């Protein structure tokens, strides 16, 4: 069902014995879920967005900005499955859904963004991030040889995220600070799985860390880079405004500027992602 003809390997979950439940570590990104009835006239064909649908979007993906796409997302807003569907029963509640909008026998699709990117590149096609106009590859739109300033939209460029005094101690606060010093500059390092680690320019072994994969209100810190998912981030562009949201892999929550305060010294937190929330939107600018 890929309209560009690129062959994308998928992992499928569902209640049919031909599929069954259970995830595969080789397919870490939840693309979406499909439901309806293709055997009636006209066919009823629906999909909803999986939690990772915007990681390395596949060219020709059903419903991805195509005119007359056969599958439609019936859910408003973000269109996430998790907000509109009933999860499968324990212990498979994280594998997929047993009902969406009154439809049963839902099929949930998983992908591997890094492998998809390699396949697309071999076919002469670049993957495009959701809503973006620029292309990305498995290494993403961020150069490994560059450093970046991450600036909250609310601050209008007056503050940048950083580590006070350039501290390299485990547990150092991840704050917004006035100015653009070296301790406010970060490497954005692709993991190869569609996510990134944010490491300090002056201490590349230190990563922005969501302690223990904490949920709403957990304050962010710096910690020795470990490869754990609480240090992995999905960076999603909004091409209309030129800003980004930065979502934590372990908690599925976004970096958030508490109460939208623009004061220097404010420690960043993790909080449930909300579309259009300026407390969770950042400019990312190449620096030196």
- The DSSP secondary structure of 32-64, one letter per residue, reads EEEEEETTSSS-EEEEEE-TTTTSSPPTT-TTS
Task: Identify the three-state secondary structure at position 116.
Answer: helix
Torsion of CA 202, 207, 211, 215, to 10 degrees: 120
Record the tokens describing residue 37, joined without a space: 């009835």
pLDDT tens digit sequence for 189-226: 988 888 999 999 999 999 999 999 999 999 999 999 99
Residue 79 confidence (pLDDT): 87
In this predicted structure, what is the pLDDT of residue 193?
80
Listing DSSP states for 188-254 in one string gives: EEE-SSS-EEEEETTEEEEEEE-GGG--TTPBPEEEE----GGG-EEEEEETTTTEEEEEETTT--E
End-to-end CA distance of the chain: 44
The two structure tokens encoding residue 41: 């006239």
pLDDT at 3: 63
Dist CA 27 CA 24 (whole Å): 6
Lowest mean pLDDT among 87-96, 112-121, 168-177, 187-196: 112-121
- The CATH classification of domain 147-287, taken from the options 3.40.50.450, 2.80.10.50, 1.10.10.10, 3.40.50.300: 2.80.10.50
Domain ranges of the chain: 11-127, 147-287
Q: Which of 10-19, 57-66, 159-168, 169-178 has the lowest mean pLDDT?
A: 57-66
Residue 82: DSSP 8-state: G
Separation CA 269–CA 258 (nearest Å): 7
């Amino acid at each position: 069902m890929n309209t560009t003809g690129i062959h994308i390997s998928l992992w499928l979950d569902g209640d049919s014995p031909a599929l069954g439940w259970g995830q595969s570590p080789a397919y870490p990104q939840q693309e979406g879920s499909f439901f309806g009835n293709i055997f009636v006239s006209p066919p009823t064909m629906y999909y909803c967005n999986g939690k990772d649908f915007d990681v390395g979007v596949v060219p020709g993906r059903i419903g991805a900005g195509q005119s007359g796409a056969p599958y439609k997302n019936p859910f408003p807003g973000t269109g996430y499955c998790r907000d509109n569907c009933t999860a499968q029963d324990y212990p498979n509640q994280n594998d997929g859904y047993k009902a969406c909008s009154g439809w049963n026998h839902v099929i949930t699709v998983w992908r591997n963004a890094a492998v998809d990117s390699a396949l697309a590149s071999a076919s002469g096609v670049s993957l495009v991030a959701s809503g973006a106009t620029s292309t990305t590859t498995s290494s993403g739109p961020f150069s490994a040889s560059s450093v970046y300033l991450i600036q909250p939209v609310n601050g209008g460029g007056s503050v940048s995220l950083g580590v006070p005094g350039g501290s390299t101690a485990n547990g150092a606060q991840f704050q917004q600070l006035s100015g653009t010093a070296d301790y406010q500059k970060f490497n954005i390092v692709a993991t190869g799985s569609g996510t990134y680690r944010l490491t300090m320019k002056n201490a590349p072994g230190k990563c922005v860390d969501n302690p223990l994969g904490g949920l709403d209100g957990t304050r962010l810190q710096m910690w020795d880079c470990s490869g754990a998912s609480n240090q992995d981030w999905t960076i999603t562009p909004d091409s209309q405004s030129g800003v980004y949201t930065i979502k934590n892999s372990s908690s599925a929550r976004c970096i958030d500027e508490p109460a939208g305060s623009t004061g220097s010294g404010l420690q960043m937190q993790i909080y449930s992602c909300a579309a259009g929330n300026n407390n969770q939107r950042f400019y990312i600018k190449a620096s030196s």
